[in-house]
Amino acid sequence: SRSSAASDVYKRQLESTVHAALLRQYLHLEDRIGGLVAALRSGDPSQDPTVGFRWTESSRTLEAWRTGTWIRRLAGAGLGSTVAVDANGFDNRGNWVHFSEVNYLHNWYLFLLYKLGVVGAVAMLAAIALWLRRSAALAVSGGEAGTAATAIWLGTLVWSLTSPEIIDFRVAPLLGWMVAVVLSGNDAGDAT
C-alpha cells in the first residue's frame, strides 16, 4: 500500500527470504556507510557510533601507552591488559552499552604497540614483512599461491586498522596454513 508522504515511501511484503536478507544487508551497509561519510565530512567521529567508539578507544590506548613507563612502552602491558575507555559502544551482540575498560582493541597495530610494546610490535611486523616478501617473490615467479597470499596479506593488513581479525581463532589458523604453503615454496598448496 502506498503512503501519502511526499517521499513516496511504500511498504511491500517480500516473498523471498533471499530478497529479504539482501535488503536487510543493503540497509545495514547504507546506514554504516552513511554514518562513516557523515563522520568524515564533518571531521567529528561521534557522527557515527562505531567510528566514535573506535576513535575514543584508539586515543585512550595511545595515551595509556604514551604515559606508561619506558619499560612498559618497550615491553608492553601484556596480552591480558585492559585500557580505560569510559565510552559507549556496541557489545558483541549489537547492544549499546557503556565500557569502562576494554581488552579487545579494534586497531591491531595499537594492540601490538600497547600489549607487546615496541619490541613485540617490531618483531611481529618484521615477521609479516618477511612473509609478505616471500609471498610476493613466489607471485613474481608465477606462483598462484604466492599471488593469493600477497593479496590476502595486503587485505588483512588494511583490515587490521579497524579489526584485529589477524588474531581471531577462526582466521589465524588459515593465515598459518598460508604462511606454511608460501614458506614451503610449493605452489600446489600442499603444506606438508
Question: Greatest CA span in the chain, whole angstroms?
Answer: 67
- Please check whether residue 12 is in contact with residue 20, taking contact to mean a CB–CB distance below 8 angstroms: no
Return the amino acid letter for 2: R
- Please check whether residue 146 is in contact with residue 138, taking contact to mean a CB–CB distance below 8 angstroms: yes
All three cell numbers of 60, joined, read 585512550
Q: Is the pTM of this model over 0.85?
A: no
All three cell numbers of 38, joined, read 557523515
At residue 22 the predicted structure's pLDDT band, cuts being 50, 70 and 90, is: confident
Please provide the average confidence, as pLDDT, over all residues in the chain.
87
Residue 6: pLDDT over 60: no
Report pLDDT digits (tens) over 127-161. Answer: 999 999 999 999 999 888 899 999 999 999 999 99
pLDDT for 151 equals 94
> Rounded to whole angstroms, how far apart are CA atoms 100 and 96?
13
All three cell numbers of 70, joined, read 619506558
Report pLDDT digits (tens) over 55-105. Answer: 999 999 999 999 999 999 999 999 999 999 999 998 888 889 999 999 999
- Please check whether residue 182 is in contact with residue 131, taking contact to mean a CB–CB distance below 8 angstroms: yes
> Rounded to whole angstroms, how far apart are CA atoms 154 and 136?
11
Backbone angles phi, psi at 146, to 5 degrees: -65, -40
- Please check whether residue 74 is in contact with residue 65, taking contact to mean a CB–CB distance below 8 angstroms: no
